[in-house]
Structure 1
């Protein structure tokens, strides 16, 4: 007997919730990514502190058609940090934010016009340190799709969605090598259609896929 679309969605949501609850109790699974060796070197610099930030790893529930997607943005080319890259909605923690959930929801509303009341918080991934000096708290949310997204033109060049099934498939997690500040580093890339998802965003997606895949 086939499972109706709502049942399949509820099953995926429950699987993700179980994975997040499990890592909260037991810690992240083996092979967890946290930046790269450059991030570790940066942490050893005397007097260097990391800038706290939070992002929304938004899982958009589309009961019809039967698919769950991941919400992503393409940053504009003129920004000071991570210009032109694919990113989750998010940013620096501001003094008025009460915690990472406040930051992630505020930034999602500012950047893509996502109302906070359409997001149900499922949990958190462990913080992710970047070579550029940020300590990012990923906030995982189950999103009821709004009528449409409204990208903030200064920061966001485009808003798009990637099927969750694509993200969870290890075959789409490609390792690449490159040079940064004279040092060779390895990083993950998730090529999707004409998009090039890499860096911290790819690292957090790989972490999420490993966590959910182990649930």
Structure 2
């Protein structure tokens, strides 16, 4: 189907076309056993109408969600739209698009699937996650579809994610765990989501130098599984 709007940016296509065998996340999780198959959608889009297309990202945006605070698993944490690959799904791409429509109202007809990153097993959740890279030529209104699942939907400028002022290392006190994290648009982004964003920015060539010695403890509200 022919679509108008800005084409897939070169940096996003670069990540989709690059071999990911040496990706840090791939190496870090290679020894972990595979779990239940799931998929998430990393949905990028062009700068909103009337917004200057500044920076290396050209003003692009990324969709993030804040999980409902009443959920038993990872309440209030920031994630990408996504979930389990159901038997009726035609693989991880189909699952990621279905979940995005169910969670935030993003119609699959408006999304170009650019590629996928390798499946990443996560011992904490028991899932093996496939990140799907999507591009919105013409961003549509999105929001909370099911408040029992999602508390907020935030369209974040990529330039805010690359801004060194918004980056630091999150330290988990119990696990002696330190990893890249972000604070943007009132969201505290850490854990798998933040690590994936950080590695994506590296692969895309969008990372700007930031202070990796700035270590901050993970807020207590996020330490409940």
Normalization by structure 2: what TM-score?
0.76
1:52 maps to which residue?
37
Q: Which has the higher helix share?
A: 1
Counterpart for residue 157 of structure 1: 151
Equivalent pairs counted in the alignment come to 194
CA shift in 2, pair 1:173/1:28, >3 Å: farther
TM-score (norm 1): 0.79
Paired position in structure 2 for 1:3: none
1:113 pairs with one of 93, 105, 113 = 105
CA distance in 2, matches of 1:149, 1:208: 24
- Once the two structures are TM-superposed, the CA of residue 171 in structure 1 deviates from its matched residue by 6.1
What is the match of residue 13 of structure 2?
A: 17
User: In structure 1, the residue corresponding to 2:171 is in which secondary structure?
Assistant: strand
Distance in 1 (CA, whole Å) between partners of 2:101 and 2:62 is 16
Q: CA deviation at 1:35?
A: 9.6
Structure 2: which 5+ runs fail to align? 54-58, 208-225
Q: Does 1:103 align with 2:95?
A: yes
Q: Give the 3 Å change call, closer, same or farther, for CA 145–193 of structure 1 in structure 2.
A: closer
**1:1-150 to 2 correspondence within 5 Å?**
10=7, 13-23=9-19, 27-29=21-23, 32-33=24-25, 43=32, 49-62=34-47, 64=49, 65=51, 66=53, 67-130=59-122, 131-143=124-136, 144-150=138-144
Moved more, 87-96 or 161-170: 161-170
TM superposition shift of 1:34? 5.2
Deviations 1:164-215 (CA, angstroms, capped at 9, x unpaired): 12234566442222234xx322222111142100111101101111110179
Q: Deviations over 1:109-153 (max 9, x none)?
A: 000011000110011122233222221110010013113434321
RMSD: 2.6
By how many angstroms is 1:28 displaced? 4.0
Counterpart secondary structure, 1:110: helix
Change (3 A) 1:191 1:147: closer
Q: 1:116 to 1:146 in 2, by over 3 A?
A: same
